[in-house]
């Protein structure tokens, strides 16, 4: 079955937009991709519950490529805090595997939508108001960062996001400069995505009702087109991030978080009504 040209165009536009946002804000773009990919799958007669899960898994897979492109640009500017990456990454891998291999397949959705919307909205308010953390507050020790990484990886695995919606507020709360937090979040997107995608592939084996060109929960046409386009725009977004003043960057990030919170709230209401 050939891929429709219009679908390719739609996926390319989505990839360009999410790639730019990945570089600009240190997010994987997953929560922007998910509603669009799930709509495309639903139009191809994929069951709604399966369509959402495939959209989450596919968007996470694209983050592998977006993250590599984005972090390369940030690293050239010396903005990535690799010391933080090394401490958070082990917990991220563990949390992501727990989410993608087990919990992801079991959750129905409504409760998760509301919890996620509330958490993201709180993070957005904190970021938008630009509240200053206590001057003495620092990142926790190795054990604390391991635990924080576990939470970031777990939440990312459930919603198909690159983790920036958790890691950037966490790092700025601990007095990491916003540009460093965004760059470091981009670097963390790689272990988050790699671990989760492995889980999605294993958990999705043998499922009924999958569309053509599927690999577990992954929808390969979307993965190939979006990833190809997103890597082109991620460096552009990263360049824009370093050109913006701190306050504007924080407010831009808060704006994205508000949109994500409203989207998840709407999905939760829809799930309850169904």
Q: Which residues pair with residue 215 across a beta bridge?
A: 218
Looking at residue 91, what is its pLDDT?
92
175: tokens are: 């007095």
Question: Can you give the pLDDT of all 274 residues of the chain as single tens digits?
Answer: 567 888 899 999 999 988 887 777 666 566 678 778 888 888 888 877 788 888 888 988 888 887 777 788 788 888 899 999 999 999 988 988 888 876 766 665 566 667 667 777 877 786 677 665 555 567 888 889 889 989 888 887 777 666 677 788 888 888 888 888 888 888 888 888 888 888 888 888 878 888 888 888 899 999 999 989 988 887 888 788 777 776 777 787 788 778 878 877 887 787 677 6
Q: Is 214 helix (H, G, I), strand (E, B) or coil?
A: strand
Q: 3 — alpha (psi -120 to 50), left (phi > 0) or beta?
A: beta
Q: What pTM does this model have?
A: 0.74
15: tokens are: 């990839």
**Maximum separation of any 2 CA atoms in the chain, in Å:** 60
Domain range annotation of the chain = 5-273
How far is the CA of 16 from the CAs of 226, 230, 231, 235, in angstroms?
Answer: 7, 5, 8, 11
Rounded to whole angstroms, the Cα distance separating 216 from 246 reads 41
Q: Is 205 exposed, middle or buried (0-12, 13-18, 19+ CB in 10 A)?
A: exposed
């Amino acid at each position: 079955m050939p891929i429709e040209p219009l679908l390719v165009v739609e996926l390319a536009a989505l990839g360009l937009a999410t790639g730019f946002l990945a570089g600009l804000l240190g997010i994987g773009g997953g929560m922007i991709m998910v509603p669009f990919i799930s709509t495309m799958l639903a139009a191809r007669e994929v069951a709604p519950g399966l369509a959402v899960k495939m959209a989450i898994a596919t968007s996470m897979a694209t983050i592998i490529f977006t993250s590599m492109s984005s972090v390369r640009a940030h690293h050239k500017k010396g903005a990535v805090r690799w010391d933080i990456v090394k401490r958070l990454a082990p917990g991220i891998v563990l949390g992501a595997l727990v989410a993608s291999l087990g919990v992801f397949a079991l959750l129905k959705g409504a409760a998760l939508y509301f919890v996620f919307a509330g958490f993201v909205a709180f993070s957005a308010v904190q970021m938008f108001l630009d509240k200053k953390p206590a001057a003495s507050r620092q990142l926790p020790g190795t054990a604390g960062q391991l635990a924080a990484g576990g939470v970031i990886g777990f939440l990312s695995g459930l919603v198909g996001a690159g983790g920036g919606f958790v890691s950037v507020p966490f790092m700025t709360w601990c007095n990491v400069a916003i540009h460093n937090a965004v760059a470091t979040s981009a670097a963390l997107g790689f272990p988050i995505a790699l671990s989760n995608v492995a889980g999605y592939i294993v958990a999705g084996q043998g499922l009924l009702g999958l569309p053509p060109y599927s690999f577990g929960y992954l929808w390969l046409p979307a993965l190939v087109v979006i990833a190809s386009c997103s890597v082109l725009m991620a460096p552009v977004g990263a360049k824009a991030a370093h050109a913006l003043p701190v306050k504007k960057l924080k407010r831009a990030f808060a704006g994205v978080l508000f949109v994500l919170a409203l989207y998840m709230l709407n999905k939760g209401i829809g799930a309850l009504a169904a």
